[in-house]
Amino acid sequence: MYPAKSLDDPELSYSYYIDEVETRVGAQKQAVDIMQKIPFPGKLSRKGKIALQEAKQKEYLYKHKKLMTISELKIT
């Protein structure tokens, strides 16, 4: 799987209340929450395509620079 196309890491948080918090189900001393961001449909695949195009562009630039270096060495 490509990192650009994967979901963000889930977030886990823990809260400890010094003073008890009153809720409709009773007092709370602590809480644990977990959250996962889900992007709009199609956004991850678009992000992956952009990352792939950028990687190809950098590969072509690298190959061009390599060939130019080799040709300059042969000339000298």
- CB-based contact 44:3 (threshold 8 Å): no
Residue 2: the pLDDT is 63
Phi-psi region of 46 (alpha: psi -120 to 50; beta: other; left: phi over 0): alpha
The mean pLDDT of the chain is: 89
pTM of the model: 0.57
Is the pLDDT at 1 greater than 60? The verdict is no
